[in-house]
Amino acid sequence: MQWTKLTRRPWRKLQSSALNASGEQLRRLSAAELFDLYDGTLRQIADTIAPASTSVQRIRRLSPWFDEECRQARRKSRMLERRYRRSHTDQDRAAWVSQVRAMHTLYQLKENVYWTACIASNADNPKKLWRSLSSILKRNKDPSPPLPSLTAQQLSQYFINKISGVRAATDAADPPSFTTYTGKQLTSFRELSVHEVRKLLLSSPPKTCSLDPLPTDILLKSVDTLLRFICEMCNASPREGLLPISQKAAIVKKSGLNPDEPQSYKPISNLTFMSKIIERIVAEQLRAHLSESDLMTPAQ
């Protein structure tokens, strides 16, 4: 039996009023110092009001019949649940309940089909047949997950095929041509106003990374309290041409993926909220410069 440690915080105890006291101590510093102060101050407040607690939880491996279709059904159920939690409308609740029922019906069908096929295929092999029956009756003495069947050669060949496909798709393209650009230069980034930063924050997806000092939804509820400091952060980083080291870390997401499929090993990184805000600021100004200077190619 496998166990894992989970760390949680009672975020509901953290109200926006608790962040008001920190606004007075924030002052103009370098980009790295600003981000360190932002992260450290919010973590200190979180530790005081919503201290983390650790619990032990058993790791539950997915059933062998749980395939991609089941994953899609579970993903859709969670999406409809989140929609209902936001809207609280009868229509969204009915859609969520209907999808959950359909999901469990699919689960039952997949389980029945899988075990029926296992028993039929092992009819002439008593050892495997009894192993299948033990799994159905929840009497399997070996709860450890099976090792992935994917080999290093298969994984290597998957990425080789990907690269070969890109090269084949662009093989007939015209060779690149280069000309000297003598137009307007982008020598610095324009500083954003407090209003522009506020609009950017509220229009960004409220996704949270475990590296963030606070959940993004709580941060956005307190946006006016920290707005001037965040504005200085957003202007200092492009002005200095520097993204602090603390914002270059990422969490690689791998949970729930099939270990037997090569595409499950492509890195999907979860970045901090503020690093994505800086990225949007730089990208939008760079995109505007390329468009105004007619430097954006038709294929871009």
Q: Model confidence over 264-273: pLDDT tens digits?
A: 777 778 899 9
**Domain ranges within the chain, ordered by starting residue:** 3-57+186-292, 68-146
Of 193, 230, 236, 227, nearest to 32 by C-alpha is: 236
Helix (H, G, I), strand (E, B) or coil at 7: strand
Most confident option among 16-30, 111-125, 224-238: 224-238
| pTM (two decimals) | 0.61
Q: What would the pLDDT profile of 171-206 be if each residue is shown by its tens digit?
A: 888 888 888 888 889 999 999 999 999 999 999 988
Mean pLDDT of the chain: 82
Q: How sure is the predictor about 250, in pLDDT bands with cuts at 50, 70 and 90?
A: confident
Q: What number is the average pLDDT over the span 231-242?
A: 92
Q: Which structure tokens are listed for 103? A: 């999901």
DSSP labels, 74-130: HHHHHHHHHHHHHH--HHHHHHHHHHHHHHHHHHHHHHHHHHHHHHHHTTT-HHHHH
User: What per-residue confidence (pLDDT) applies to 136?
Assistant: 61
Are the CB atoms for 31 and 240 separated by under 8 Å?
Answer: yes
State residue 42's pLDDT score: 86
pLDDT of residue 28: 59
What is the percentage of the chain residues whose pLDDT exceeds 90? 32
Residue 52 and residue 68 in contact, taking contact as beta carbons nearer than 8 Å: no
Report strand pairing: 250-253 vs 53-58. unpaired
Q: Pick from 252, 159, 268: which is nearest to 211 by CA?
A: 252
36-54 pLDDT, tens digit each? 988 888 888 888 877 877 7
pLDDT of residue 74: 92
Is 168 buried (19+), middle (13-18) or exposed (0-12) by CB count in 10 A?
exposed
Using one digit for the tens of pLDDT, what is the confidence trace for 142-177? Answer: 555 566 778 888 888 998 999 999 999 988 888 888
